[in-house]
Amino acid sequence: MAQLDLRGISKSFGDTAVLRDIDLSIADGEFLTLVGPSGCGKSTLIRIIAGLEPQTAGSIAVDGAPIDHLRPHERRVAMVFQSYALYPHMTVFQNLALPLTMARLTMAERLPLLRLLSPRRRRIMAGIGQEVGAVAEQLQIDRLLDRRPAQLSGGQRQRVALGRAMVRHPAVFLMDEPLSNLDAKLRVHMRSELADLHARLRATFVYVTHDQVEAMTMSDRVAMMHGGRIIQLGTPAQLYDRPANLTVAQFIGSPTINLIKGRIGRDDAIEIPGGRIGLATGLPPGAEVTVGLRPEAVVPAPLVPAFQDPVRLPARLHRRENLGPEQILHFDLMGTEKAGLTCRVMGSETVVADEPVDLLFEASACHVFDSAGERVDLPAPVTSSPPPVRPVAPLAGGPGA
């Protein structure tokens, strides 16, 4: 069990700065995920924690004690790689036992001839056999111990790689995209297995992925990285509900958040193509903003939302993706060039393609980002000048019907 503290971690390869002044504290037993686009520095950071790569500046401590001077195997951390990194000529048992035999047997006891003669070795190996058996049982690979990696499926290999980390009882598990080589269905299954494993072991997990769904579904907290920096740290809900900037807003969530270019009008409200949003941003008139709207916050008018005073934008359905329980509807906004909005709606409600329809959303559902892409914290909706309501077909049973 361990708390991990990173202070001012920077890393350059030659002139190229890859990590810039990373501060991050990971609580004992926490599942923290580093997420971000390819090349943002996730693997470099986790390799620095593992001791596989020296940092250019900064310090790492486990439970308050610096570990910068320690070699990888001395750090109480264990790394699981995307490639599994299993030894192909060894059986599953030998792969699992290797970290323990390396730690507990002398060089001589590992030699072919001497090892047969040493009673101490036999005793140690019996203990290792029991520990490996217990871990293999937990991971349900106990029937595979005599096989070699080539005789295993991808998911089974992944479990062996996990097991090899588990036998060391590390304080911190470091995992670099451990599921990326698995097919989609197995990935979903292994996601819940990893979450269960974390709950059982209560160890600290640092998990790297570029898959926002993995980050959102497994983690206690997510650190989103971009350009060698952590640009937001929070719970999955915080990143989804209050993205700190446009980069996070666009990276987290599927389908991607809708973005509409707007400008602050003279009466404080945000003017967007085809309408206006009654929100006081505190920004000066004329300031350019980007309005973000999650697809589930936008509802086509034939479906009746319980919105008090919605913003309405006329649109036409352009494409429909039927996902069974829900549909993703892609609309073109009318009167604007190439601007569209994506809605996520439950059920199989029909919106007729090519017929004009109003898209409704509440001003309070809008995320507003300034011209630098940073989130604008909104004081309160503008109530004194409600947005003009366009004449549309009545909403059956809804407010304003």
Choosing from 4, 34, 43, 344, the residue that interacts with Mg ion (CB under 5 A) is 43
Q: Considering the complex, state which of residue 77 and residue 225 has its C-beta at the smaller distance from ligand ATP.
A: 225
**Size, binding site for Mg ion by CB under 5 A:** 1
Q: Considering the complex, state which of residue 128 and residue 223 has its C-beta at the smaller distance from ligand ATP.
A: 223
Distance, in Å, from the CA atom of 9 to the CA atom of 11, rounded to the nearest integer, reads: 7
65 forms bridges with which residues in the sheet?
62
Write down the residue that tokens 């140690």 correspond to. 124
How many CA atoms lie less than 13 Å away from 361 in the CB half-sphere? 29
CB of 290 to ligand ATP, least distance (A): 25
Cβ-contact 295, 342 below 8 angstroms: yes
Q: Considering the complex, state which of residue 43 and residue 158 has its C-beta at the smaller distance from Mg ion.
A: 43
Residue type, 210: H
Question: Does residue 290 bind Mg ion (CB under 5 A)?
Answer: no
CB of 16 to ligand ATP, least distance (A): 6
At 75 the three-state DSSP class reads coil
The item of ligand ATP, Mg ion, none sharing an interface with residue 41, based on CB under 5 to 8 Å by kind, is ligand ATP
The residues binding ligand ATP (CB under 6 A) are 13, 16, 18, 36, 38-44, 210
Measured at CB, which residue is nearest to Mg ion? 43
Q: Considering the complex, state which of residue 224 and residue 351 has its C-beta at the smaller distance from ligand ATP.
A: 224
Closest CA to 35 of 182, 247, 293: 247
The item of ligand ATP, Mg ion, none sharing an interface with residue 39, based on CB under 5 to 8 Å by kind, is ligand ATP
CB of 43 to ligand ATP, least distance (A): 3
Q: For the chain, what is the total number of helices (H) and then of strands (E)?
A: 9, 22
The item of ligand ATP, Mg ion, none sharing an interface with residue 13, based on CB under 5 to 8 Å by kind, is ligand ATP
Q: Considering the complex, state which of residue 16 and residue 384 has its C-beta at the smaller distance from ligand ATP.
A: 16
Q: Considering the complex, state which of residue 212 and residue 342 has its C-beta at the smaller distance from ligand ATP.
A: 212
Peptide bond into 255 cis (omega under 30): yes
Cβ-contact 299, 305 below 8 angstroms: yes
Tell how strand 367-369 and strand 288-293 pair up.
antiparallel
CB of 211 to Mg ion, least distance (A): 12
The item of Mg ion, ligand ATP, none sharing an interface with residue 18, based on CB under 5 to 8 Å by kind, is ligand ATP
Question: Does residue 281 bind Mg ion (CB under 5 A)?
Answer: no
Cβ-contact 361, 329 below 8 angstroms: no
CB of 376 to ligand ATP, least distance (A): 29
- Show the tokens assigned to 139: 């991971």
CB of 27 to ligand ATP, least distance (A): 23
Q: Which residues contact 265 (CB under 8 A, 6 or more apart)?
A: 271, 276, 285
Would you report the helix, strand and coil content of the chain in percent, each value rounded to 5? 30, 30, 40
Chain residues that interact with Mg ion, rule: CB under 5 A? 43
